[in-house]
């Protein structure tokens, strides 16, 4: 691994002498994206502000490109590190090209006039951030997503080795979120820049990060690849939500389940059950689901939303015992819904559940269930 651009050692970060994050240590290497995640108010932004020199460190060391941060003049530091903040920027009479050009500040002379090389850097940065078509538009006429990309182009134009971003996807719709993260990826690949950022959206963090640092209130916790960090129980605990509410594989989140004895039994599988689970949850109807294989697409949502789930090991046909268990629950329910469109060798058993429901006279369409209750 190459020499890190940023090395933070035993840093204490906070405001007005009050420590909010204690003993923060991490490194960011060239070409790497490190994402800080954690609950609101834990101090992610405080760490970023300290790293970017907006807050004085209350202890520990920050080393940027081999030199302690405190030894840089603002201008020198700006040649190594650029930032993108969350706060909204208000500008009058400012075409985007001019704003991107502001990134040349650490390179221009006393009057800030742009040389031909500076202009080329502006064009390159705008191309990389995909805002070339906005060059002559006035900044105040842009949408939030466009503004954010223009400000990103400004930061890129500063030609930093380290780019620090605080919640860059806030205020953005999914299209701009994706394009923004795409630009960051290109930046790390094409220019070997390092990226340090905070993200609220766990699913984005999981997909973009090379490494994730989890920030608990008070001090950092786990640090590692998304594969190491994103473990259902752990993320749920980090954010203080119920264990099954968060699915670590897809970073999806389910609302709290309806409680009580199950009123409806859902015969499901292969992802067909999830929309029905969520509908029942919205209407506050407690339900049971089954029989699901341990590797079924429906299982995480069923675990989060159903009061009872009957499961079978993955890749084996459903056993008689499981079927009997399911039928027992079904008999105590008022209604049964079947979402499975077809049956194969592995879920053959569910076919008998469907027949049993019919014989009990409890089989309903999903729509009728919703109306009835």
Partner 1 sequence: MHRRRMGVIYTLLCVLLLALMLANLCIGSVNTAPGTLLAALRDPDANTVTYRILMQIRLPRMLCAAVLGGGLAVSGLLLQSFFQNPIAGPYILGISSGAKLAAALLMVAALTGGFALRSLWLVGAAFVGAMLSMGLVLLVASKVHRMSVLIVCGVMIGYICSSVTDFVVNFSDDANIVNLHNWSMGSFSGSDPRDARIACAIVLPAVTGAFLLAKPMDAYRLGEQYARSSGVAVRPFRVALILLSSLLSAAVTAFAGPISFVGVAVPHLVKTLLHTAKPIRILPACFLGGAVFCLFCDLVTRTLFAPTELSISSVTALFGAPVVIAMLLRREGGHSDV
Give the nearer residue to partner 1 in terms of CB position, either 93 or 315: 93
- Interaction of residue 111 with partner 1, rule CB under 8 A: yes
Per CB under 8 A, does 20 bind partner 1?
A: no
Tell me the closest approach of the beta carbon of residue 214 to partner 1, in angstroms.
25
Q: How far is the CB of 124 from partner 1 (least distance, A)?
A: 17
- Cβ-based nearer residue to partner 1, 103 or 262: 103
Residue 116 found at the interface with partner 1 (CB under 8 A): no
Assigned token pair, 282: 């919205």
Which long-range CB contacts under 8 A does 307-310 form with residues at least 24 apart?
A: 307/257, 307/258, 307/259, 307/260, 307/261, 307/262, 308/262
Residue 162 belongs to what H/E stretch?
Answer: strand 162-166
On the question of a cis peptide bond just before residue 335, with omega within 30 degrees of 0, the verdict is no
Distance CA 156, CA 152 (A): 6
| Residue 52 in contact with partner 1, rule: CB under 8 A | yes
Least Å from the CB of residue 109 to partner 1: 8
In 3D, which of 90, 105, 107, 151 has the Cα closest to residue 125? Answer: 151
| Min separation Cβ 46 and partner 1, Å | 14
Please, which of residues 76-105 interact with partner 1 by CB under 8 A? 76-79, 81-83, 85, 87, 89-94, 98-99, 102-103, 105
Cβ-based nearer residue to partner 1, 73 or 295: 73
* DSSP element (H, E) containing 175: helix 174-191
Nearer to partner 1 among residue 1 and residue 111 (C-beta): 111
Q: Does 140 bind partner 1 (CB under 8 A)?
A: yes
53 contributes a contact to partner 1 by CB under 8 A: yes
Residue 14, burial from CB neighbour count under 10 angstroms (0-12, 13-18, 19+): buried
Residue 12 per-residue DSSP state: E
- Rounded to an integer, what distance in angstroms lies between the CA atom of residue 162 and that of residue 366? 53
HSE (side-chain half, CA atoms, 13 Å) at 18: 4
317: contact with partner 1 by CB under 8 A: no
Tell the smallest beta-carbon distance from residue 161 to partner 1 (Å): 14
CB 52 within 8 A of CB 164: yes
d(CA 105, CA 110): 10
Q: Which is nearer to partner 1, 171 or 364 (CB)?
A: 171
- The distance of closest approach from Cβ of residue 145 to partner 1 in the complex, given in angstroms and rounded to an integer, is 15
Q: Least distance in Å: CB of 102 to partner 1? A: 6
Q: Which single residue is written with the structure tokens 């970023």?
A: 48
Cβ nearer to partner 1, comparing 87 with 116 = 87
Taken as a whole, the chain contains a residue count of 373
Residue 257 CB neighbours (<10 A) = 21
Near partner 1 by CB under 8 A, which window of 70-78, 171-179, 216-224, 357-365? 70-78
Task: Give the x-and-dash track for 157-196 against partner 1 (CB under 8 A).
Answer: -x--------------------------------------
The burial of 213, by beta-carbon neighbours within 10 Å (0-12 exposed, 13-18 middle, 19 or more buried), is given as buried
Number of residues that bind partner 1 (CB under 8 A): 36
Q: Which two tokens stand for residue 3?
A: 């020499």
Site track for partner 1 across 144-163, x = CB under 8 A? -------x--x---x-----
Token pair in block for residue 199: 């993200």
Q: Give whichever of 13 and 357 is closer to partner 1, judged by the CB atom.
A: 13
Contact between 73 and partner 1 (CB under 8 A)?
Answer: yes
Q: Shortest distance, CB of residue 87 to partner 1, whole angstroms?
A: 7
Residue 140 CA, distance from chain mean position: 29
Contact footprint for partner 1 (CB under 8 A): 52-54, 73-79, 81-83, 85, 87, 89-94, 98-99, 102-103, 105-106, 108, 110-113, 140, 151, 154, 158
């Amino acid at each position: 691994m190459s020499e890190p651009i940023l090395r933070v050692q035993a840093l204490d970060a906070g405001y007005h002498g009050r420590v909010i994050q204690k003993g923060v240590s991490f490194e960011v290497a060239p070409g790497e994206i490190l994402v800080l995640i954690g609950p609101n108010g834990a101090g992610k932004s405080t760490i970023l502000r300290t790293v970017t020199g907006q807050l004085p460190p209350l202890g520990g060391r920050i080393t940027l490109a081999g030199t302690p941060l405190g030894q840089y003049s603002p201008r020198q530091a700006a040649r190594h590190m650029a930032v993108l903040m969350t706060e909204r920027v208000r500008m009058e009479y400012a075409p985007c090209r001019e704003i991107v050009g502001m990134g040349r500040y650490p390179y221009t002379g006393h009057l800030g006039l742009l040389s031909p090389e500076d202009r080329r850097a502006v064009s390159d940065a705008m191309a990389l951030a995909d805002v070339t078509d906005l060059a002559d538009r006035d900044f105040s006429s842009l949408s939030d997503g466009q503004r954010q990309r223009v400000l990103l182009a400004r930061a890129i134009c500063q030609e930093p080795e380290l780019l620090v971003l605080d919640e860059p996807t806030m205020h953005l719709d999914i299209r701009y979120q994706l394009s923004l993260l795409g630009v960051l990826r290109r930046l790390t690949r094409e220019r070997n820049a390092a990226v340090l950022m905070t993200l609220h959206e766990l699913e984005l963090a999981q997909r973009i990060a090379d490494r994730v640092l989890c920030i608990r209130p008070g001090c950092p916790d786990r640090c590692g690849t998304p594969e190491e960090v994103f473990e259902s129980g752990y993320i749920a605990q980090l954010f203080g939500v119920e264990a099954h509410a968060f699915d670590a594989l897809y970073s999806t989140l389910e609302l709290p389940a309806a409680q009580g004895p199950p009123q409806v039994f859902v015969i499901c599988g292969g992802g067909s059950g999830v929309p029905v689970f969520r509908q029942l949850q919205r209407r506050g109807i407690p339900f049971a689901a089954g029989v699901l294989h341990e590797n079924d697409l429906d299982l995480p949502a069923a675990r989060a939303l159903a009061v009872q789930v009957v499961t079978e090991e993955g890749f084996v046909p459903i056993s008689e015992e499981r079927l009997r268990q399911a039928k027992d629950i079904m008999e105590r329910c008022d209604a049964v819904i079947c979402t499975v469109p077809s049956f194969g060798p592995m879920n053959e058993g569910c076919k008998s559940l469907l027949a049993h429901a019919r014989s009990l006279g409890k089989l309903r369409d999903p729509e009728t269930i919703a109306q009835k209750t």
